[in-house]
Amino acid sequence: MKFLSYRRDGADRIGAVRGDQVVDLTDATRLCNLGEALRKLGPQQLRELADQASATLALAAVDTYRPVVADAERIVCVGLNYEEHRVEAGRAKTAHPSVFLRLPSSQVGHLQPIVVPSELPEGLDYEGEIAIVIGRGGRRIRAEHASSHVFGYAPYNDASARSWQAHSTQWTAGKNFPSTGAFGPLLVTADEVEGRVLSVTTRLNGAVLQDADTSMMIFPIPELIAYVSTFTELQPGDVIVTGTPGGVGFKRNPPVLMKHGDVVEIAISGVGTLRNAVVREEI
């Protein structure tokens, strides 16, 4: 099953996708955010409502996608989780994942513009990643039980303001400019991809710049869930962004960064393709 967050007639809404149709869930739930729906109703009830409701809109008629989970209480991002990227970044091996936080306000949806801040005339770096959305919360989740806590998967572009990221040993400043993290278009529930090796491909203006799969992760997704849930109690609707492969732009010679007029795509096999135009900030 697939879910989306969108806007229609000026109102935020959530829905499920059935074929090429959207089943609106806001009228049935009186909720307009997927995170809140998962917290209040739980994954099972949300799926049952999606099965019972009638389709109300053609998917092609959706003109404003929102971040799949626009109201996550936690967006935990993982750095340096592919060996090729760790090597190109010149970082030492670590015994534990490197994590940082993103703000929900830094996100945009599918087909919405990624905005290059005026402070970054050189451009933004792309980072194609897989995002997982928690369906069942928990604390100190064991890795062998982690898959039962995952509601679904979606593409993510964890774009980076590299010069600001380099201001200190902490990456927060480089990861939270408004409209720099893209998330969508759809969430695909875990049962549709369970047990599969997922590929991650980043294309900039049609050129493939990143291409890897989840078998190359240093810390697999179950280990990430176990680690993150140790220091914070995960809640339904929380997001873990699982790391980018090698091939990032600022380590290329010459560097390749996203600039005004570019189009960037993040494709996850069996999940979907996130597409965003890139624009400069107008001030």
pLDDT tens for each residue of 139-198: 999 999 999 999 999 999 999 999 998 888 888 999 999 999 999 999 999 999 988 999
Q: Are strands 272-280 and 114-116 parallel, antiparallel or unpaired?
A: parallel
Q: Are residues 111 and 28 in the same domain?
A: no
Residue 168 has a pLDDT of 83
267 has pLDDT over 90:
yes
Does residue 68 fall inside a structural domain?
Answer: no
- Domain holding 147: CATH number? 3.90.850.10
pTM: 0.96
Residue 170 has a pLDDT of 83
Quote the DSSP letter at residue 144. Answer: G
Residue 43 has a pLDDT of 97
Residue 87 has a pLDDT of 84
Residue 56 has a pLDDT of 86
pLDDT band at 221 (very low <50, low <70, confident <90, very high): very high
Q: Report the distance separating Cα 262 and Cα 271, nearest Å.
A: 23
pLDDT tens for each residue of 18-60: 999 999 999 999 999 999 999 999 999 999 999 998 898 999 9
Does residue 113 fall inside a structural domain?
Answer: yes
Share of the chain above pLDDT 90, in %: 90
Burial (0-12, 13-18, 19+ Cβ within 10 Å), 141: buried
Q: Are residues 116 and 197 in the same domain?
A: yes
69 has pLDDT over 90:
yes
Token pair in block for residue 16:
């499920």
Q: Are residues 202 and 229 in the same domain?
A: yes
Q: Phi and psi of 100, rounded to 5°? A: -150, 170
Q: Are residues 175 and 271 in the same domain?
A: yes
* pLDDT (average), residues 115-142: 97
Final residue in a domain of this structure, among 12, 27, 61: 61
Q: Are residues 54 and 87 in the same domain?
A: no
Q: Are residues 39 and 110 in the same domain?
A: no
Q: Are residues 25 and 142 in the same domain?
A: no
Q: Are residues 11 and 131 in the same domain?
A: no
User: If DSSP codes are grouped into helix, strand and coil, which group holds residue 12?
Assistant: strand
* pLDDT (average), residues 114-139: 97
| Enclosing domain of residue 264 | 75-280
Q: Report the distance separating Cα 184 and Cα 231, nearest Å.
A: 27
Mean pLDDT score of the chain, rounded to an integer?
A: 96
Residue 276 has a pLDDT of 98
Residue 130 has a pLDDT of 98
pLDDT tens for each residue of 84-115: 899 888 888 889 999 999 999 999 999 999 99
Q: Are residues 223 and 124 in the same domain?
A: yes
- For 34-87, the DSSP string reads HHHHHHHHHHHHHHHHHHHSPP-EEGGG---BPPSSTT-S-EEEEES-BHHHHH
Does residue 120 fall inside a structural domain?
Answer: yes
Q: Are residues 128 and 229 in the same domain?
A: yes
User: If DSSP codes are grouped into helix, strand and coil, which group holds residue 145?
Assistant: helix
Overall domain count for the chain:
2
Q: Are residues 163 and 262 in the same domain?
A: yes
Q: Are residues 50 and 186 in the same domain?
A: no
